[in-house]
Amino acid sequence: MNSHAPHIRPVIRQLDEAVANRIAAGEVVERPASAVKELVENALDAGASRIDIAIQDGGKRLIRVCDDGCGMAPEDLPLALSRHATSKIDGTDLLAIRSFGFRGEALPSLGAVGRLTITSRMRGGDGAVIAVEGGRAAPVRPAAANPGTVVELRDLFFATPARLKFLRGDRAETMAVAECVRRLAMAEPFVGFTLTADGKEIFRADAEQGELFDALTIRLSRVMGRDFIDNAIPLDAERDGLRLSGLAALPTYSRGAAVAQHVYVNGRPVRDKLLTGALRAGYMDVLASGRHPAAVLYLACDPQLVDVNVHPAKAEVRFRDPQGARGLVVSALRHGLATAGHRASSTMGDATLAAFRAEPAAAPAPAAPRTYQMDYRPSATAIRASLDLQAPTMGFAEAPSARAEEESAAPLDAPLGAARAQIHENYIIAQTEDGLVIVDQHAAHERLVYERLKVQAAATGIARQALLIPEIVELPEADAARILSIAGDLAELGLVIEPFGGGAVAVRETPAMLARLDARALIRDILDDLADQGASDRLRGRLDAVLSSMACHGSVRSGRRMNADEMNALLREMERTPRSGQCNHGRPTWVKLRLSDIERLFGRKD
């Protein structure tokens, strides 16, 4: 029996257009920021070079978007307020979409839940205005107007007051609108944007000039900040018709939340699990636990290779080859971080400089350092093997005191300079041409050994250990098929699985370095990743964690005294080794102080 209407025969009714538009508005317009997004995208599709946005009360009372685009003719205004009426496509090919909008739902949805007025004029034509309130449109009237379009939305959700209860405060809604405008501005550097909230300009980005990448870099510096540009590496990669460009920040320039991650597909800002998962995977073994990378990624491809018609809000996309797109992002990020070599973020030097300044007497105690927890520990044999990978000049013979080392022949013009002293038996002080460098010897050598272990594992393969009795894991048939579809990839990482009838799989071999592996739990975790992201780096991450622990045990320890030759050998190898700017746990391995800043500390410079 139907619990919703147990004694009533259902009757099929045709909903009127006003109700249908209000229902559609629930998907298209969730909050004021959604309305701003739709209107600004319409302005971009109209070829605008300048877009001015004004809001009041977080967009609840007023949203006004003015553009200098192509405008509309008076006879087009009523049609623009009809559902599924659009100038962006002709309906013959829904995969050849090159514009932001194409569904023809935004304007009628906004007119159904608010008081909407559109004033528009084409160049060389007459201006006109049309108003719609709660889904009821007034006749078109002549109006004085500049070329372009002005869309004014007042009293959002007045026709559906229940929706107002789900909105946040004015400040939170204003911040959401500002974030929406910033995201769109980062993809359109040749378009000027202004955002005014309650009469106060809170965002401005004038149109940039020059080549596309240069213009994008300048626009990103205005939106993301100069620090992001100074601490980011450029990306440029292509594979199977997909092109990836953009900027990715160094691991030491990370954030406490995923608020500085922006992904664009053919210029459209998207929030896609596949791509954000690929972004995390690209930084997998270089970020501290709980930290998030900062990056702006632009994916470009033929529209036929990606479907943007997944959801009315158009924030999700579906690739024809999802694993190809993911692989391109992961490999480009890892290659870019590797070519960055020993670089660490410049903000670390600023933080170090601030630490030298006198603190107020009542300053709070510093936060406890972040700890790194390991789930898997390497065996003693594995640790001994990692010791063999140390640099020849870093043996463990007792070294003389390095409290005041004599100046060595190491060049000052080297990126990390020449070692001058070791303090507290853990920190190397090196002199450069324009300042000094402080190196954490244990963190630095830990990364060097870790990178060698990864190279060795890639060259010789992951050693496997056959189980005397295969472990049988019972799964639903769909999950079994999904895990078996990546059996080849898992075998390369040392985990060998086979079908065992029905929905069961048999685990025949496991990676030798994971001696206490819970294969059943690992397989279920991998399946969760596959369901959520379409791919899994779970096993790779655990293997890297063991290699990291082996490197930690096998590296130069804190308290180990080093002579000048050993210290300089460590500096030179850091300069040659990828990702040596941060240790295996994501912490910086070195910081630099400029001579000019040091002189300013002592009052030698103003």
Write the pLDDT tens digit of every residue in 441-459.
Answer: 888 888 888 888 888 777 7
Q: Decide which of 3.30.565.10, 3.30.1360.70, 3.40.50.1980, 1.10.287.40 is the CATH code for 17-205.
A: 3.30.565.10
Q: So what's the pLDDT on residue 102?
A: 54
Q: Is the pLDDT of residue 384 over 90?
A: no
pLDDT at 162: 78
- Measured between alpha carbons, how far apart are the two ends of the chain, in Å? 83
Residue 119 contacts residue 67 (beta carbons within 8 Å):
no
- Assess contact for 51 and 67: CB atoms under 8 A: yes
Q: Are 592 and 437 in contact (CB under 8 A)?
A: yes
Q: Give dist(CA 209, CA 54) in Å, integer.
A: 25
> Measuring CA to CA, how many Å separate 14 from each of 81, 105, 111, 137, 312?
20, 19, 20, 21, 22
pLDDT at 198: 94
For 214, the 3-state DSSP assignment is helix
Q: What pLDDT is recorded for position 7?
A: 58
Q: How confident is the model at residue 370 (pLDDT cuts 50, 70, 90)?
A: very low
Instruction: Give domain 372-463+512-606's CATH superfamily.
Output: MutL, C-terminal domain, dimerisation subdomain (3.30.1540.20)
Distance CA(120)–CA(126), nearest Å, equals: 9
Q: What pLDDT score does 577 carry? A: 87
Report which listed range, 190-199, 223-232, 369-378, is most confident: 190-199
> Which range, of 102-106, 154-158, 232-236, averages the lowest pLDDT?
102-106
**Which tokens is 93 given?**
């090919």
Lowest-confidence pick of 48-57, 149-158, 455-464: 455-464
Take residue 220 and report the two structure tokens written for it.
């990103």
Helix, strand, coil % over all residues of the chain, rounded to 5: 35, 20, 40
pLDDT confidence tier of residue 407, bands split at 50, 70 and 90: very low
Architecture of domain 225-339: 2-Layer Sandwich (3.30)
Identify the pLDDT of residue 404: 39
Q: What angle do CA 284, 288, 289 make, to 5 degrees?
A: 90
Higher pLDDT, 115 or 158: 115
540's torsion region: left (phi>0), alpha (psi -120 to 50) or beta?
A: alpha
pLDDT tens-digit series, residues 498-538? 999 888 999 998 888 776 778 888 888 888 888 877 777 77
Q: What is the pLDDT of residue 376?
A: 46
Dihedral through CA 440, CA 445, CA 450, CA 453, nearest 10? 180
Q: Classify 22 as helix, strand or coil.
A: helix
- Give me 349's structure tokens: 């030097």
pLDDT at res. 135: 77
Residue 292 pLDDT > 70, yes or no?
A: yes
Instruction: Give the model confidence (pLDDT) of 297-316 as tens digits.
Output: 999 998 888 887 666 666 77
Q: Is 170 helix (H, G, I), strand (E, B) or coil?
A: helix
H helices within 29-164, ranges in order? 32-45, 77-80, 106-113
- Average pLDDT on 378-400 reads 46
Average pLDDT, the chain: 80
Residue 417 vs residue 516, higher pLDDT: 417
Q: Which letter does DSSP use for residue 167 in this model?
A: -
Alpha-carbon gap, residue 534 to 161, rounded angstroms: 39
Residue 87 confidence class, pLDDT cut points 50, 70, 90: low
- Name, of 4-8, 14-18, 179-183, 519-523, the range with top average pLDDT: 179-183
Range 322-351 average pLDDT: 81
DSSP letters along 434-447, please? TEEEEEEHHHHHHH
User: Does residue 262 sit in helix, strand or coil?
Assistant: strand
What ranges in 64-204 are assigned the alpha helix state H?
77-80, 106-113, 170-187
In DSSP terms, 510 is beta-bridged to: 465
Residues 6+ apart with CB under 8 A from 539: 490, 493, 495, 511, 522, 526
What is the tens place of the pLDDT at every residue in 210-238? 888 889 999 999 998 888 998 899 999 99
The CA-CA-CA angle for residues 148, 150, 154, to 5°, reads 170
Statement: residue 88 has pLDDT above 60: no
Per-domain residue ranges of the chain? 17-205, 225-339, 372-463+512-606
CA 87 to chain centre: 33
What pLDDT does residue 553 have?
A: 67
**Strand-pair partners of 232:** 249
